[in-house]
Structure 1
Amino acid sequence: MVSAQNVGGSSPRVVLVVTDGMRRDFISTENTPVIANLKSTGTWFASHRSVFPSCTRVVSSSVATGCLPAKHGLAGNSVCLIEDGKLTLHDAGKPQFVDDKRRLTGRVLNIPTMAERLASMNGAIIFNNVSPGAAYVHDPDGHGHVYHRAASYGPGRVPINGPNALDIVQGIEGDTAATERFVDEVVLQRRPTLAVLWLSEPDTTQHITPLGSPRHLEMLRQTDRNVARVLAAVSQCREEGEDILVMVASDHGHETTVDYVDIAAEMVDAGLKRSLDSDDVVVAPNGTAALIYVDPGQVSDIEAIRNFLESQPWCGQIFDPQNFRDVGIPAGGNLAFGVAMAWDDGTNEYGVPGRSYAVLSANGQKKPAGCGQHGGLGRYEQSPYLIAEGRGFKAGETVTSETSAVEIAPTVLHFLGRAVADLDGRALQELN
């Protein structure tokens, strides 16, 4: 353990807790009483949104940098990179992705992360229980500490092994173990300038359980209890005189899947792609969204692909390089189309609104239909939540202006006196 450094209010600090995948409309006094109560002691951002694709690895990069994918450069949970002259599909969640991205493109993200910006002022410590790739984009170049069940790293990306590693499992059991250690070791003892706890629930359960089901609601309650543990520790530190900003948020919501679509197979059947594993056209699945890459040396009629997509009942919105910036998609790398799958306001068996088509994963595995998924632009997957409590934010205030994940970093940096220009997001103190 590392001894406390910023005790007695000598330096402001920020504690950020993310409950992955929690929809704004699932916050209630019945199932999430602690988070619901935080709305009365902090500022509630009633029109908070995700980014596109609304996938955790992308949103994590936007949270870390304060920028949309068009600026930070990570286009999706799965993306194509050019390797040996060919379009090659990469899963950004894999532990080795940050090394692959750096090797093939020169860097992981195009914009400095909060961990980098705060390295000289007692740094950042991130505890994360989602995918390894989503954890590592918070600090891909090793300026602070990132703890994850796959591997943990300190400054310089020096591995943290043995009893100091984060030996947990994904899901609520691991979330609770991570929370308990985060509270005791990070919030109460080490006291970094930025402490981030990113929990895997309720996202993990929502992917395999119908939204609104008893199992899902119980997971909301257990996740709320983990948030309570953090808030209690923050209260203790504030009583000692510390100036702490608390932000509790989610990265995206979920829609109920109506069906999974194998876009690559349908393009093969339509004569628009040579074979399922060909590199002339490559589909990068992103939940309820897809990125479609085209090798111009092998495909001359890109409009035929557009016409095909527009004719499909599962296709909602299509974006191309002419309007990528409208939704923050990075241009280049032979990315031809971004697709948000079709969605509607229909309800599931538990009366929960929001349904969407989803894209079959590259390995052919699909999560159960009728359960949760995200990635696109559906109303409910684009309805995460955000609450800020601390200096600069009024208790019980509701801000109705639209905000998104890119606002978190500017808000943190503003609170710490490290405001940075040229980010896509704004400091939320300006709206309060």
Structure 2
Amino acid sequence: MRSGRRAVVVVCDSLCADLVTPDVAPALAEMRAQGADFASARGVFPSTTRTSSASMATGCLPAAHGLLGNTMVLREQGALVRLSVGKPDFLERLRRATGRTLRRPTWAERLARQGGAIVMSNVSPGAAYLQDPDGFGHVYHRAGSRGPGGVALTDGLAIEVGAAGDRAMTDRFCREVLRERAPALAVLWLSEPDHTAHGVALGSGEHLAMIAHADACVDQVRRTVEALDPAGDEILLVACSDHGMETVERKIDLDALLVEAGWKRSRESQEVVVAPNGNAALLYFADEARDAIPALVRWLQDQDFTGRVFAGQALAEIGLPTEGPLGLALALRHDASANPHGVPGRSVSLLSPFSDSSPVGCAQHGGLGEHEQHPFLYLRGGGLRPGERRQPASLIDIAPTVLRHLDVAADGMQGRALQ
């Protein structure tokens, strides 16, 4: 790494680029105007926080890094078991089931001997730990904080999810991580506006207040970076979101529908196991049931809740593996109609055994809707010229961009540097 060079990444969870406006998010709007604005930036599929976290950290799509959703199915003792990736013990279960965590190295691993990485995150434990699942740097989270080697830290992050916790985390991040410890990579992942939006309408007063809150946190980081590097030559500042959100039009119970139509014997049967991911589902199949996939695809395509179905080699088109127990992916139906607050984008969504959030009329993500697949991505400093860029860009391009700034190899990453 070139002496003095650093990278700072701030993530506003679930903030669609279209909702970054000067009246609600003035700091982000100013950064968009004064920095490099990658207006065509897109997320990954499923557009969930845990998948996005792994893709950002590895610079790879889910098929390559192996983390396929907020909910996944693992083969444990011969059985297909549906699990929440957000739980603190998920990574250990993934390691036991597959022999590893992520299949590609993270930026924390690549920087372990090149200035190190410090992550502070206020989203789910699973999403936080996926930034550095094997303990090469420091990860601070309210469920437990870890240093190199996975050693528990005594100076943990004693906060709650939501705006107050984000604010306290940002204060500490700017004071301690940026000004005092100065790692090569510093990542701050805010819980808002995602945390609130799952329970309110997009564009409502409560939602806009949380966008403004996230904007204030970004502004605090930006002002700290500018004080440390007024010329903008040494510190690359990345402000982004992992995905956007869509208004829930209705919710379906896919397990119940599959049982009713005869595709499953019962909700607990193993021939088909559904992993709900908000506005999308991944369907896993027992070996003896895989011959049913083509017929199930045809049945799904006839349902009024279906947007698109992917199976076989078509899974590769959306960055998912074509081998293993995953048999098909379902993106639920969506359209561009606006909610009562004028925010476009509605989607059918799935009931989940792991969450009761996102009732009808509130916000959800996970699918292929235009507004959930349109995160914002602004870069400042590091020699990047200001202005809007229309070139294709993705979450997987952030890590190689950071590593190029730090003069560290990004070999094996599927993304490309945006400089």
TM-score by length of 1: 0.95
Residues 1:132 and 2:121 are matched in the alignment: no
When the two structures are aligned, how many residues end up with a matched partner?
419
| 1:301 counterpart SS class | helix
Q: Distance in 2 between matches of 1:314 and 1:298?
A: 23
TM alignment of 1:98-247, pairs within 5 A: 98-161=91-154, 164-239=155-230, 243-247=234-238
* TM-aligned CA distance change 1:420 to 1:42, over 3 Å: same
Residue 385 of structure 1 is matched in structure 2 by 376
Q: Distance in 2 between matches of 1:206 and 1:273?
A: 33
Contact residue 60 and residue 137 of structure 1 kept, 8 A: yes
Residue 329 of structure 1 is matched in structure 2 by 320
* 1:77-123 per-position Cα deviation (integer Å, ceiling 9, x unaligned): 11111011111111111101111101110111010000000000120
* TM-aligned CA distance change 1:368 to 1:234, over 3 Å: same
* TM-aligned CA distance change 1:277 to 1:365, over 3 Å: farther
TM alignment of 1:21-420, pairs within 5 A: 21-161=14-154, 164-239=155-230, 243-298=234-289, 300-363=291-354, 365-395=356-386, 397-420=387-410
Give 1:298 deviation, angstroms: 4.6
The residue identity in structure 2 corresponding to 1:108 is T
Q: Distance in 1 between matches of 2:290 and 2:319?
A: 25
Identity of aligned residues (%): 47
| 2:288 counterpart SS class | coil
* 1:8-66 per-position Cα deviation (integer Å, ceiling 9, x unaligned): x9420000000000010111110000000002221001111000000000010000000
The residue identity in structure 2 corresponding to 1:119 is A
Give 1:300 deviation, angstroms: 4.1
In structure 2, stretches of 5+ residues that fail to align are none
| 2:146 counterpart SS class | strand
The residue identity in structure 1 corresponding to 2:29 is A
Moved more, 415-424 or 28-37: 415-424
* 1:365-409 per-position Cα deviation (integer Å, ceiling 9, x unaligned): 3522111100000010011000001123112x1101121100000
Give 1:280 deviation, angstroms: 1.5
| 2:287 counterpart SS class | coil
Q: Distance in 2 between matches of 1:290 and 1:104?
A: 21
Q: Distance in 1 between matches of 2:357 and 2:203?
A: 20
| 1:160 counterpart SS class | coil
Contact residue 82 and residue 333 of structure 1 kept, 8 A: no
Give 1:421 deviation, angstroms: 2.7
* TM-aligned CA distance change 1:428 to 1:382, over 3 Å: same
Contact residue 199 and residue 357 of structure 2 kept, 8 A: no
* 1:111-143 per-position Cα deviation (integer Å, ceiling 9, x unaligned): 000000000012000000000000001101100
| 1:134 counterpart SS class | helix
Give 1:241 deviation, angstroms: 8.7
Residue 3 of structure 1 is matched in structure 2 by none
The residue identity in structure 2 corresponding to 1:394 is R
* TM-aligned CA distance change 1:357 to 1:186, over 3 Å: same
Give 1:303 deviation, angstroms: 2.4
| 1:354 counterpart SS class | strand
Contact residue 268 and residue 274 of structure 1 kept, 8 A: yes
The residue identity in structure 1 corresponding to 2:60 is C
* TM-aligned CA distance change 1:11 to 1:366, over 3 Å: closer
| 1:216 counterpart SS class | helix
| 2:228 counterpart SS class | helix
In structure 1, stretches of 5+ residues that fail to align are 1-5
TM-score by length of 2: 0.97
Q: Distance in 2 between matches of 1:318 and 1:330?
A: 14
Give 1:194 deviation, angstroms: 0.0
Give 1:419 deviation, angstroms: 3.1
The residue identity in structure 2 corresponding to 1:409 is A
Q: Distance in 2 between matches of 1:53 and 1:91?
A: 14
